[in-house]
Amino acid sequence: MHPALVICLAAVCGAGAGAACLPLVNRYLVNLEQNKLSVKGCVGFIAVLALLWAAVFAVKGWGAEAILLGLAVSALLSLSLIDWKTYEIPFAYNVFIFALGVLATVFDLALWYEHVIGFFAVSLPLLALFYLSKGTAIGGGDVKLMAACGMLLGWKLTLLGFVLGCIIGSVIHIVRMRISGEKHMLAMGPYLSVGVFASALFGNALITWYLSMLGL
């Protein structure tokens, strides 16, 4: 199949996934005492998800890996929006990403251990931080998110995604506080999701480049 056609079909699938996700997103927002997305917000959500699916298939090509990642991106965008507005990540999204991770492990049986290690590599230290800080340093939803993403991507890409997410989150959070002059709660879900997405698409290339810079 021609690459341009694959990208167009992926964008259509992404738009369809966005339309399917919207009722659940709005239900969570209402349950968490927030307003539903406006018509403009709904159109924007669908458009962004269409672009993300197109990006996934442009990089990964047409295949099971791209489909799983597209579905994961749908969940990541949804939970990011909810977390941004409510500072909560619904547990169902983490379960869904974990289920995709199990499927990814099945498709990658030769390296199954990387997925299992990925489940614990970031989430276990975060869990310790969660209990030591009594939930003030990191949220429980963030811990579960990194566990689920670890199962999906394996430990290397998940560790890179976590680092990227922390860097992006720190920079944007500081800029927000400087502009507004006020303190803001930090919703880590959106930033972790961006880091995971970037790592899923370009992580292997980044790791290879970094190791080559070190002469390894």
Q: Structural domain boundaries of the chain?
A: 3-213
CA 166, CA 177: separation in Å to the nearest integer? 16
Of 81, 85, 60, 44, nearest to 10 (Cα)?
60
Residue 157, pLDDT > 60, answer yes
What proportions of the chain, in percent to the nearest 5, are helix, strand and coil? 85, 0, 15
User: pLDDT tens digits for 114-126?
Assistant: 999 999 999 999 9
At 182, is the pLDDT very low, low, confident or very high (cuts 50, 70, 90)?
Answer: low
Residue 184: what pLDDT? Answer: 63
Residue 205, pLDDT > 70, answer yes
- Supply 142's token pair: 């963030």
- Residue 186, φ and ψ in degrees, nearest 5: -100, 115
- Residues whose CB falls within 8 Å of the CB of residue 23, separated by 6 or more in sequence, listed in order: none
Residue 150: what pLDDT? Answer: 96
